[in-house]
Structure 1
């Protein structure tokens, strides 16, 4: 096994002592292993914040290309997995929070929409460290994307953090309600949260939603 592969493996296994030893012996901190990934990428993917801190402290580039096709960045990889401590370590190293990588990924959007309901702690850290809550990725904000995915809790969370309740987000909720009858309750809760935040003022705010979820509670009431 060559030195680069050994460094990547040690980072992947969270072997801080081995990583430190290899770096002291002259291993190139950003050298890719035989699989194409770097030690930093391996540590980020595994969520090893202590290893990430060690690597960036030794000069690893926090903005390096990462991902299976080198389409992403370490911060985006951490954000989409909800590795909040890793996100913090990368931000400490100067990683930017805006659009990045050749695909133009926005870490906040990824953190807000990954998984079932996104990662609120990661979202909060990014916002607390200067990320724009209304940043756009592929013509949509995090709020727009979360609404489209039916992530009600994240929609509410983003609104509480100052996200602008856009007409686009409301339109997405309406479209989902019309397209997917099974998801009408979720879409209704999203729409209700947006309307409650002032979205669509002065426009037709009717949304094609069922009035009840079968429990006697309307969609609008459940969103409050």
Structure 2
């Protein structure tokens, strides 16, 4: 008797293409919760990337390690995969099972870095509530508050401030984040994304532009088409002016009381002048994602490794916001 799956029963990976009942049957038939496929992808990682909270809980209850790395190089963490897709319920399940919120995967990325950079506000809130450190910098030393201001998600910035990203000692970071928010508040997001894509892939391609709500906030997505097929895409939130107002209040609170900045009621920033941010990027932290298969994958961030792709595994990807695109020739 071994712990290997019984070969004439559905494998755990077959079951993940079906439903939670199929996962239960596979586990009862002898499939190991720690199973991995021929490429080293673990069942838990696959379920996490594809937003299968029920399957994730079943695998964790059956003994899957929430921190076990996945992939050919053993570099992909389930928590990071879930954070990339904004799969908040999966994130909560992994954290409840003991996943370490600040564990870094290859290239130094942690779950909060992915979630903030992609504007996954609800996931950011769950990670912070689960113990993620808002002061822990990204792999290139980027502060989460500056990254959130660049991304343009007010809800993300509110969460970071509420958990101490504007605490005493962080005045320089608040100043840099405010400078970025003010600068980007005056930028046409659609044109900026198109400019960045054409800079990377050349002019002359048709583009599709759509504006969709993500976690209750507007996101602009631009896709370049080659022969009518999406070849690359980029996206960015549009809440930079609201973020500037939040950071102005946080800046004033920190300067006058020495207490952590507390986000207030969003409003129109009192100033729109541009200030230079110390160690801040000169461009929005928008994703520019090439597509090898002809369809955009989960958006990434500049100089970041590709985010997990859901194109070759069970379940709908859910990486890009839905909505009818608007053609722009």
Please classify the TM superposition score into its range, dividing by the shorter chain length.
Answer: 0.7 to 0.9
- More divergent stretch after superposition (17-26 vs 81-90): 17-26
Q: CA–CA distance in 2 between the matches of 1:106 and 1:197?
A: 26
Tell me by how many angstroms 1:158 deviates: 2.0
Q: Does 1:170 align with 2:166?
A: no
Higher helix share: 1
The equivalent residue for 1:211 is none
Indicate which of 11, 27, 37 corresponds to 2:16. Answer: 11
- More divergent stretch after superposition (144-153 vs 177-186): 177-186
- What count of residue pairs does the alignment treat as equivalent? 203
Indicate which of 220, 237, 248 corresponds to 1:195. Answer: 248
Q: CA–CA distance in 1 between the matches of 2:148 and 2:72?
A: 25
CA contact (8 A) 1:100 1:106 kept: yes
Q: CA–CA distance in 1 between the matches of 2:180 and 2:142?
A: 15
Which whole-Å deviations, capped at 9, do the CAs of 1:131-163 have from their partners, x for residues lacking one? Answer: 222222221232121112233342233223332
Q: CA–CA distance in 1 between the matches of 2:88 and 2:45?
A: 15
The equivalent residue for 1:140 is 142
Tell me by how many angstroms 1:201 deviates: 4.2
Q: CA–CA distance in 2 between the matches of 1:163 and 1:109?
A: 13
Q: CA–CA distance in 2 between the matches of 1:118 and 1:170?
A: 23
CA contact (8 A) 1:173 1:187 kept: no
The equivalent residue for 2:307 is none
CA contact (8 A) 2:178 2:248 kept: no
State the superposition RMSD in angstroms.
3.4
Structure 1 outlier segments of 4+, above 6 Å: none
Q: CA–CA distance in 2 between the matches of 1:67 and 1:176?
A: 37
1:5–1:101 Cα change, 3 Å: farther
Q: CA–CA distance in 2 between the matches of 1:196 and 1:179?
A: 18
Q: CA–CA distance in 2 between the matches of 1:5 and 1:177?
A: 55
Report the TM-score, using the length of structure 1 for normalisation.
0.73
Task: Provide structure 2 residue ranges, at least 5 long, that are not aligned to the other structure.
Answer: 1-5, 190-237, 257-266, 273-329
The equivalent residue for 2:193 is none
Report the TM-score, using the length of structure 2 for normalisation.
0.52
Tell me by how many angstroms 1:63 deviates: 0.8
1:218–1:125 Cα change, 3 Å: closer
Higher strand share: 2
The equivalent residue for 2:275 is none
CA contact (8 A) 2:47 2:55 kept: yes
